[in-house]
Structure 1
Amino acid sequence: MKPRLVFVHGIGGPRDPAAELDEWLRAVATGAGPAGHSAHVSALTGGWAADARFAYYGDLFRTAGAQGGAAGTQDHEDDELLAALLLEAVDGRLADPGLDLPAAEAAALRHARTRLAPPSGAQGAGAPARRVVNALTSLLAVPGLRATGGWLSARLTAGMLGQVARYLNRAESDGTTTLDRRIRARVADCLDPEGPNVVVAHSLGTVVALETLHEHPADIALFVTLGSPLGIRGAVHPRVRPHPLATPATVRRWLNFWDRDDLVAARPVLEDFTRPNADAVAPHSRRVDSDGAWVHPAATYLAQPAVAGPLVEALTTLAER
């Protein structure tokens, strides 16, 4: 039986779903060889190993604002949540005793923190949106971050990161249903209701996928999360539904990967605060190490042998049944 492979993306601008699917598959193929699965690379990229789908929802973020609220209220709440998310991520990185931060990065992080949480009574503290842009200006000064992150400006970056807040605040409506529900519906439409499914989710997509799988009855043979913000204690973790965090009932295996240099993956060991399902399935977190100043992109994770290896192995086993 050919399994269904569903990729779920994170934040970002407009995407070409077909091109993204090809890029993610090629990244897996890159890591599959060193992981000892060279014989299965052509089957993966050629579409024989799995029925691969790219769950695209980025276009749903193009229209901002919510219906039925006071003007500007929702934008302010989103900005507040984004500022809190960035502050927690920065604090987590500064406090990590295992990191040997380069001087330039440490200085940029400290400067960003001051801009996100200025001392009481400081002049020019500004609204949360201004604090976020000012902080990102400091972070984008880290050598290599702007070039390798694909971010052109602090304002553009704030808009993309703001997608996390817009999803988690769950208030934007098209008059029928909320933005977060429309996003989860896109992912659910890609799942095979008969199974088996392998779901690979990145960044904000890990939150979207987790919530979707709690609502969907399909068999999930493997759930892979990459660079997940699920552990961001104040800004993300309490807002994920259902709460407390738990493994969806139909997930048979959950692998979570994080890179120590990934600013987004705060509190990365998800099993420390995620309840197992009835079959005792809990996340199993593994650290990977990539070169470069910006390790968060999905393709960077997927090209790691430690990520690609178990993914290809699972697809191959399912296809041979």
Structure 2
Amino acid sequence: MSGSVTPQLVFVHGIGGLRDTEQQRREWLEALADGARGAGHSDVISGLTRGWLAETRFANYSDLFTDAEAQGGSAGVSDDPEGIAFLEDFVAALVDELGHQAREQGDRRASAIVEDARAQLPGVDDEQEQGLGEPVRVLGRALTSLLQIPGLRGSAQWASGLPLLGHLSQVGRYLSRRRAADGGLALDARIRQRVLQGTDPERPLIVVAHSLGTVVAFEALRGYEGQVPLLMTLGSPLATAAAVLHRLVPQPPRTPARVERWLNFWDRDDVVVGRPRIEKWMLPNADGVLPVTERVDSDGLWVHTATKYLRQSDVAGPLVEALKR
């Protein structure tokens, strides 16, 4: 960054369980340092890990889901009709997405698995009326089938569909905009507060968001008045039109006003991510900024993690370069 102003770097996590703020901050920074080394930026490793290059904060809102999960039904999924309807839309969108990818690649085995999952979705087959009374079980079974797709089977951190469904339900709870029982702020508003808490509009802010965190960051930056040289989204469900896009605020969705550059990364073996269509469904801000999407290919297990993305040189390179300006 120009001058002597130290930029702010905020990490925004996604779906999952309770997190340790400092441990996560350290793990994300270490992953970014690995990626920076691969991108030829070994000179900034100490600056990253020791806080010289940027003041880094991990925006942890995972505890805000704890009470809701404790009150939920099977697999921590709320059994309210709105939440179930969201999950039905989301899982159907994932089935459609993976089916499209299988057809593009001519993968007959994956196509067969997708069609098996599609046949299990509520309302698809009249013979499944009994299953409609147990939507969580039915949707979990469909996701379990999807996780058998060869690329996903070796890379997903979920052994079956029910735990994944429980985590995906967090996206629906965020987007429900439901006010707290005590009349306080809605869950989504409290989460956005966590993201921007402690930020200084007088200093440049770079945001790296993952999974559900990309939805949170997108909305949190809507009214932010400080400079945002880079918004980086990883493994984002923002392009899941049927389930997520039309629930965003504002409508129609547009790039936050102060964002100067938006880079979006996706991995084909990341079950939560749709095809890179965000730029087709997002209006530009006044400066004409739209998201630019690039694909990365991770090896091994646990593809849907922020650290897996951050270890990619194609991801870490432009992030470090933004911090060094």
Tell me whether the two structures share a fold, i.e. TM-score over 0.5.
yes
Q: Aligned partners of 1:168, 1:278: CA distance in 2, in Å?
A: 26
State whether structure 2 residue 307 is matched by structure 1 residue 299. yes
- Residue 18 of structure 2 aligns to which amino acid in structure 1? P
Deviation at 1:85, TM superposition (A): 0.5
Deviation at 1:102, TM superposition (A): 7.4
Deviation at 1:152, TM superposition (A): 5.0
1:63 counterpart (67, 74, 81): 67
Deviation at 1:283, TM superposition (A): 1.1
Change (3 A) 1:265 1:150: closer
State whether structure 2 residue 255 is matched by structure 1 residue 251. no
Q: Percent identity?
A: 49
Q: Aligned partners of 2:181, 2:153: CA distance in 1, in Å?
A: 34
Task: Report the more deviating stretch, 117-126 or 245-254.
Answer: 117-126
Q: Which residue in the other structure is 1:138 paired with?
A: 145
SS in 1 for 2:67: coil
Change (3 A) 1:172 1:155: farther
Contact 2:152 2:271 in 1 (8 A): no
- Residue 33 of structure 2 aligns to which amino acid in structure 1? A
Change (3 A) 1:293 1:143: farther
State whether structure 2 residue 97 is matched by structure 1 residue 92. yes
Q: Aligned partners of 1:171, 1:212: CA distance in 2, in Å?
A: 17
SS in 1 for 2:229: strand
Q: Aligned partners of 1:153, 1:287: CA distance in 2, in Å?
A: 26
Q: Which residue in the other structure is 1:19 paired with?
A: 23
Task: Report the more deviating stretch, 289-298 or 8-17.
Answer: 289-298
Q: Which residue in the other structure is 1:186 paired with?
A: 194
Deviations 1:101-155 (A, max 9, x none): 472x444332222212453411333243232122123234456857753335433
Deviations 1:54-89 (A, max 9, x none): 001111011128x9xxxx997221111112111111
Change (3 A) 1:231 1:143: closer
Deviation at 1:189, TM superposition (A): 0.4
SS in 1 for 2:38: coil
Q: Aligned partners of 2:206, 2:160: CA distance in 1, in Å?
A: 35
Q: Which residue in the other structure is 1:232 paired with?
A: 240
Q: How does 1:103-118 map to 2 (within 5 A)?
A: 103=109, 105-118=110-123
Contact 2:8 2:55 in 1 (8 A): yes
Deviations 1:271-318 (A, max 9, x none): 11211111111111112122246522111111111100000111111x
Deviation at 1:192, TM superposition (A): 2.3
Contact 1:191 1:218 in 2 (8 A): no
The unaligned stretches of length 5 or more in structure 2 are 72-76
Q: Which residue in the other structure is 1:29 paired with?
A: 33
SS in 1 for 2:132: coil
Change (3 A) 1:258 1:154: closer
Deviation at 1:250, TM superposition (A): 0.9
Q: Which residue in the other structure is 2:157 paired with?
A: 150
Contact 1:6 1:190 in 2 (8 A): no
Structure 2 length as normaliser, TM-score? Answer: 0.88
- Residue 137 of structure 2 aligns to which amino acid in structure 1? R
Task: Report the more deviating stretch, 151-160 or 305-314.
Answer: 151-160
Q: How does 1:271-282 map to 2 (within 5 A)?
A: 271-282=279-290
SS in 2 for 1:314: helix
Q: How does 1:192-211 map to 2 (within 5 A)?
A: 192-211=200-219
Q: Aligned partners of 1:214, 1:26: CA distance in 2, in Å?
A: 29
State whether structure 2 residue 302 is matched by structure 1 residue 312. no
Q: Aligned partners of 1:150, 1:282: CA distance in 2, in Å?
A: 31
Contact 1:144 1:293 in 2 (8 A): no
Deviations 1:228-249 (A, max 9, x none): 1111111100001001111111
Structure 1 length as normaliser, TM-score? Answer: 0.89
Q: Which residue in the other structure is 1:269 paired with?
A: 277
Deviation at 1:190, TM superposition (A): 4.3
How many pairs were matched up?
Answer: 311
Q: Aligned partners of 2:266, 2:78: CA distance in 1, in Å?
A: 34
The unaligned stretches of length 5 or more in structure 1 are none
- Residue 219 of structure 1 aligns to which amino acid in structure 2? Q
